[in-house]
Protein backbone atom coordinates (compact mmCIF):
# COMPACT_ATOMS: atom_id res chain seq x y z
CA UNK A 1 0.00 0.00 0.00
CA UNK A 2 1.34 3.42 -0.95
CA UNK A 3 1.08 6.75 0.84
CA UNK A 4 -1.55 9.00 -0.74
CA UNK A 5 -3.12 12.33 0.12
CA UNK A 6 -6.83 12.52 0.81
CA UNK A 7 -9.04 14.00 -1.90
CA UNK A 8 -9.54 17.09 0.24
CA UNK A 9 -5.79 17.58 0.66
CA UNK A 10 -5.14 17.26 -3.07
CA UNK A 11 -7.94 19.68 -3.90
CA UNK A 12 -6.52 22.12 -1.33
CA UNK A 13 -3.19 22.21 -3.16
CA UNK A 14 -1.10 19.91 -0.97
CA UNK A 15 1.65 17.79 -2.51
CA UNK A 16 3.38 14.64 -1.30
CA UNK A 17 6.96 13.36 -1.18
CA UNK A 18 6.90 9.77 0.09
CA UNK A 19 9.85 7.56 1.06
CA UNK A 20 10.22 3.96 2.19
CA UNK A 21 12.96 5.10 4.56
CA UNK A 22 14.47 8.50 5.30
CA UNK A 23 16.84 10.08 7.79
CA UNK A 24 14.35 12.68 8.99
CA UNK A 25 11.14 13.87 7.35
CA UNK A 26 11.55 17.22 9.12
CA UNK A 27 15.03 17.63 7.68
CA UNK A 28 13.77 16.85 4.18
CA UNK A 29 10.95 19.38 4.55
CA UNK A 30 13.34 22.06 5.83
CA UNK A 31 15.66 21.42 2.89
CA UNK A 32 12.72 21.80 0.52
CA UNK A 33 11.85 25.13 2.13
CA UNK A 34 15.41 26.39 1.74
CA UNK A 35 15.33 25.32 -1.93
CA UNK A 36 12.30 27.53 -2.54
CA UNK A 37 9.38 25.14 -2.10
CA UNK A 38 6.14 27.17 -1.84
CA UNK A 39 4.76 25.06 1.00
CA UNK A 40 1.74 22.81 1.43
CA UNK A 41 4.14 19.91 1.13
CA UNK A 42 3.91 16.64 3.04
CA UNK A 43 7.05 14.52 3.47
CA UNK A 44 6.22 11.03 4.76
CA UNK A 45 7.90 7.71 5.46
CA UNK A 46 7.22 4.49 7.34
CA UNK A 47 10.79 4.42 8.66
CA UNK A 48 13.01 7.20 9.98
CA UNK A 49 16.66 6.55 10.83
CA UNK A 50 17.68 9.93 12.27
CA UNK A 51 14.48 11.35 13.70
CA UNK A 52 14.41 13.84 16.53
CA UNK A 53 11.98 15.07 19.13
CA UNK A 54 11.73 18.14 21.28
CA UNK A 55 14.86 19.45 23.02
CA UNK A 56 17.09 17.41 20.64
CA UNK A 57 15.79 14.09 21.97
CA UNK A 58 15.74 11.03 19.71
CA UNK A 59 12.38 9.95 18.27
CA UNK A 60 12.58 6.41 16.94
CA UNK A 61 10.47 5.55 13.88
CA UNK A 62 10.86 1.83 13.27
CA UNK A 63 9.64 0.36 10.00
CA UNK A 64 5.85 0.31 9.82
CA UNK A 65 5.37 3.40 11.96
CA UNK A 66 4.54 6.85 10.57
CA UNK A 67 6.81 9.86 10.22
CA UNK A 68 5.07 12.76 8.50
CA UNK A 69 6.11 16.39 8.17
CA UNK A 70 4.03 19.20 6.71
CA UNK A 71 5.77 22.30 5.37
CA UNK A 72 3.80 25.55 5.42
CA UNK A 73 5.33 28.78 4.08
CA UNK A 74 3.96 32.02 5.54
CA UNK A 75 4.68 35.23 3.66
CA UNK A 76 3.65 37.36 6.64
CA UNK A 77 4.15 35.13 9.69
CA UNK A 78 2.36 36.43 12.74
CA UNK A 79 3.04 35.89 16.43
CA UNK A 80 0.68 32.90 16.49
CA UNK A 81 2.67 30.82 14.01
CA UNK A 82 3.73 28.33 16.69
CA UNK A 83 0.09 27.56 17.48
CA UNK A 84 0.03 25.52 14.26
CA UNK A 85 1.20 22.73 16.55
CA UNK A 86 -2.29 22.64 18.04
CA UNK A 87 -3.67 22.22 14.53
CA UNK A 88 -1.39 19.20 14.12
CA UNK A 89 -2.56 17.71 17.41
CA UNK A 90 -6.24 18.13 16.59
CA UNK A 91 -5.80 16.73 13.09
CA UNK A 92 -4.00 13.65 14.36
CA UNK A 93 -6.42 13.09 17.25
CA UNK A 94 -9.40 13.08 14.91
CA UNK A 95 -7.60 10.97 12.30
CA UNK A 96 -6.85 8.31 14.92
CA UNK A 97 -10.43 8.35 16.15
CA UNK A 98 -11.50 7.69 12.54
CA UNK A 99 -9.12 4.86 11.65
CA UNK A 100 -9.21 3.13 15.07
CA UNK A 101 -12.65 3.92 16.53
CA UNK A 102 -13.32 0.76 18.53
CA UNK A 103 -10.14 0.00 20.44
CA UNK A 104 -10.49 -1.63 23.85
CA UNK A 105 -7.89 -1.32 26.59
CA UNK A 106 -7.73 -3.74 29.52
CA UNK A 107 -6.68 -1.18 32.13
CA UNK A 108 -5.73 2.45 32.42
CA UNK A 109 -2.11 3.25 31.56
CA UNK A 110 -1.59 6.58 33.31
CA UNK A 111 -2.53 8.18 36.60
CA UNK A 112 -4.14 11.06 34.73
CA UNK A 113 -7.27 9.22 33.69
CA UNK A 114 -7.37 5.68 34.94
CA UNK A 115 -10.34 3.48 35.69
CA UNK A 116 -9.48 -0.19 35.98
CA UNK A 117 -11.24 -2.75 33.82
CA UNK A 118 -12.03 -2.92 30.12
CA UNK A 119 -13.12 0.27 28.41
CA UNK A 120 -12.84 2.02 25.08
CA UNK A 121 -9.51 3.67 24.41
CA UNK A 122 -9.65 7.43 24.74
CA UNK A 123 -7.33 9.47 22.58
CA UNK A 124 -6.40 12.78 24.18
CA UNK A 125 -4.05 15.71 23.66
CA UNK A 126 -1.28 16.38 26.15
CA UNK A 127 -0.03 19.97 26.21
CA UNK A 128 1.70 21.07 24.17
CA UNK A 129 2.32 18.43 21.54
CA UNK A 130 1.65 14.78 22.36
CA UNK A 131 -1.24 12.48 21.52
CA UNK A 132 -2.04 9.92 24.22
CA UNK A 133 -4.00 6.69 24.22
CA UNK A 134 -5.40 6.36 27.72
CA UNK A 135 -2.36 8.13 29.12
CA UNK A 136 0.33 6.34 27.10
CA UNK A 137 2.26 8.32 24.49
CA UNK A 138 1.19 7.35 20.99
CA UNK A 139 2.54 10.29 19.03
CA UNK A 140 4.84 13.28 19.31
CA UNK A 141 4.81 16.53 17.35
CA UNK A 142 7.84 18.72 16.66
CA UNK A 143 7.69 22.22 15.15
CA UNK A 144 10.71 23.71 13.40
CA UNK A 145 11.06 26.95 11.46
CA UNK A 146 13.40 28.36 8.84
CA UNK A 147 13.67 31.91 7.48
CA UNK A 148 13.29 32.22 3.71
CA UNK A 149 13.91 35.86 2.88
CA UNK A 150 10.90 37.77 4.18
CA UNK A 151 8.89 34.55 4.58
CA UNK A 152 9.01 31.81 7.20
CA UNK A 153 8.81 28.10 6.61
CA UNK A 154 7.25 26.09 9.42
CA UNK A 155 7.48 22.32 9.52
CA UNK A 156 5.11 20.32 11.71
CA UNK A 157 6.70 16.91 12.21
CA UNK A 158 4.40 14.13 13.42
CA UNK A 159 5.54 10.70 14.57
CA UNK A 160 2.99 7.97 15.26
CA UNK A 161 3.60 4.58 16.87
CA UNK A 162 1.60 2.42 14.48
CA UNK A 163 3.13 -1.06 14.84
CA UNK A 164 5.65 -0.56 17.66
CA UNK A 165 6.55 1.87 20.43
CA UNK A 166 9.85 2.82 22.10
CA UNK A 167 10.59 0.91 25.29
CA UNK A 168 12.39 1.64 28.56
CA UNK A 169 11.36 5.27 28.66
CA UNK A 170 10.45 7.30 31.74
CA UNK A 171 6.80 7.41 30.65
CA UNK A 172 4.34 4.83 29.27
CA UNK A 173 4.12 4.37 25.51
CA UNK A 174 1.74 2.53 23.21
CA UNK A 175 1.31 1.64 19.56
CA UNK A 176 -1.91 1.25 17.63
CA UNK A 177 -1.06 -2.43 17.17
CA UNK A 178 -0.55 -2.97 20.91
CA UNK A 179 -4.02 -1.53 21.43
CA UNK A 180 -5.55 -3.93 18.92
CA UNK A 181 -5.73 -1.77 15.79
CA UNK A 182 -4.85 -3.28 12.42
CA UNK A 183 -4.52 -0.02 10.46
CA UNK A 184 -1.34 0.86 8.57
CA UNK A 185 0.83 3.97 8.53
CA UNK A 186 -0.57 4.72 5.08
CA UNK A 187 -4.16 4.62 6.36
CA UNK A 188 -3.33 6.89 9.28
CA UNK A 189 -1.59 9.37 7.00
CA UNK A 190 -4.44 9.66 4.51
CA UNK A 191 -6.86 10.46 7.35
CA UNK A 192 -4.33 12.86 8.87
CA UNK A 193 -3.91 14.78 5.61
CA UNK A 194 -7.69 15.19 5.43
CA UNK A 195 -8.13 16.38 9.02
CA UNK A 196 -5.14 18.70 8.70
CA UNK A 197 -6.97 20.60 5.95
CA UNK A 198 -10.01 21.05 8.15
CA UNK A 199 -8.14 22.45 11.12
CA UNK A 200 -5.61 24.49 9.14
CA UNK A 201 -8.49 26.24 7.38
CA UNK A 202 -10.15 26.86 10.75
CA UNK A 203 -6.87 28.17 12.19
CA UNK A 204 -6.57 30.64 9.27
CA UNK A 205 -3.00 31.82 10.07
CA UNK A 206 -4.00 32.42 13.69
CA UNK A 207 -7.20 34.34 13.05
CA UNK A 208 -9.27 31.31 14.06
CA UNK A 209 -7.21 30.45 17.13
CA UNK A 210 -10.17 30.81 19.50
CA UNK A 211 -11.96 27.94 17.73
CA UNK A 212 -8.78 25.84 17.74
CA UNK A 213 -8.33 26.48 21.46
CA UNK A 214 -11.92 25.41 22.18
CA UNK A 215 -11.59 22.20 20.16
CA UNK A 216 -8.25 21.41 21.81
CA UNK A 217 -9.67 21.82 25.32
CA UNK A 218 -12.46 19.38 24.45
CA UNK A 219 -9.77 16.75 23.85
CA UNK A 220 -7.27 17.75 26.55
CA UNK A 221 -5.58 15.23 28.84
CA UNK A 222 -5.30 16.03 32.54
CA UNK A 223 -7.52 19.10 32.53
CA UNK A 224 -8.46 20.02 36.10
CA UNK A 225 -6.01 17.48 37.51
CA UNK A 226 -2.66 17.73 39.34
CA UNK A 227 0.32 18.21 37.04
CA UNK A 228 4.00 19.00 37.39
CA UNK A 229 5.52 21.35 34.82
CA UNK A 230 9.27 21.23 34.28
CA UNK A 231 10.92 24.27 32.69
CA UNK A 232 14.62 23.55 32.54
CA UNK A 233 15.65 22.37 36.00
CA UNK A 234 12.73 24.07 37.75
CA UNK A 235 9.58 22.06 38.52
CA UNK A 236 6.30 23.70 39.50
CA UNK A 237 3.29 21.72 40.72
CA UNK A 238 -0.36 22.60 40.70
CA UNK A 239 -3.60 22.02 38.80
CA UNK A 240 -3.88 22.23 35.01
CA UNK A 241 -6.61 24.87 34.83
CA UNK A 242 -6.88 25.63 31.09
CA UNK A 243 -4.92 27.04 28.16
CA UNK A 244 -5.15 30.78 27.59
CA UNK A 245 -5.92 32.74 24.42
CA UNK A 246 -2.38 32.16 23.12
CA UNK A 247 -2.55 28.43 23.99
CA UNK A 248 -0.17 28.73 26.94
CA UNK A 249 -0.79 26.28 29.77
CA UNK A 250 -2.42 27.93 32.80
CA UNK A 251 -1.30 26.32 36.05
CA UNK A 252 -2.97 27.04 39.40
CA UNK A 253 0.10 26.50 41.55
CA UNK A 254 0.14 24.89 44.97
CA UNK A 255 0.88 28.36 46.34
CA UNK A 256 -2.38 29.65 44.84
CA UNK A 257 -1.03 31.78 41.99
CA UNK A 258 -1.81 31.39 38.28
CA UNK A 259 1.19 30.67 36.10
CA UNK A 260 1.09 30.96 32.29
CA UNK A 261 3.59 28.54 30.73
CA UNK A 262 4.66 28.93 27.09
CA UNK A 263 7.05 25.95 27.01
CA UNK A 264 7.76 23.05 29.34
CA UNK A 265 7.35 19.35 30.05
CA UNK A 266 4.10 18.26 31.71
CA UNK A 267 3.89 15.21 33.99
CA UNK A 268 0.75 13.55 35.36
CA UNK A 269 0.00 11.10 38.14
CA UNK A 270 2.24 10.41 41.12
CA UNK A 271 5.00 12.66 39.79
CA UNK A 272 2.61 15.60 39.78
CA UNK A 273 1.31 14.85 43.28
CA UNK A 274 4.76 14.54 44.87
CA UNK A 275 5.42 17.40 47.27
CA UNK A 276 9.20 17.38 47.09
CA UNK A 277 11.49 20.21 46.06
CA UNK A 278 10.29 22.42 43.23
CA distance 238 to 226: 6
Residue pLDDT, tens place only, 8-53? 999 999 999 999 999 999 999 999 999 999 999 999 999 999 866 5
Number of Cβ within 10 Å of residue 142's Cβ equals 22
pLDDT at 166: 86
Contact present, 52 and 58 (Cβ < 8 Å):
yes
Set out the domains of the chain in order of their start, with CATH numbers: 7-218 (3.30.930.10), 226-273 (2.30.30.100)
Residue pLDDT, tens place only, 218-272? 999 999 999 999 988 899 999 999 999 999 999 999 889 999 999 999 998 644 4
Q: What is the mean pLDDT of residues 166-176?
A: 86
DSSP 98: H
pLDDT at 103: 72
158 vs 135: which has the higher pLDDT: 158
pLDDT at 58: 61
pLDDT of residue 74 exceeding 60, the answer is yes
Contact present, 199 and 156 (Cβ < 8 Å):
no
DSSP 252: E
The number of C-alpha atoms within 13 Å of 91 and in the hemisphere containing its C-beta is 32
Instruction: Describe the crossing of helices 209-218 and 84-99 by its angle, rounded to 10 degrees.
Output: 40
pLDDT at 56: 55
Amino acid sequence: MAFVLSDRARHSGYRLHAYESVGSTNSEALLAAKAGDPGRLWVVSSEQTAGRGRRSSVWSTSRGNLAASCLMVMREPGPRLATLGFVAGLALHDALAEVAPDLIVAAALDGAAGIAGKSSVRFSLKWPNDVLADGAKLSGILLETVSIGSATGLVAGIGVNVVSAPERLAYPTASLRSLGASCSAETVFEALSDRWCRYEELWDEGRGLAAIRSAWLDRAAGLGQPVAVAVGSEVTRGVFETIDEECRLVLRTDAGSRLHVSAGEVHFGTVASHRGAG
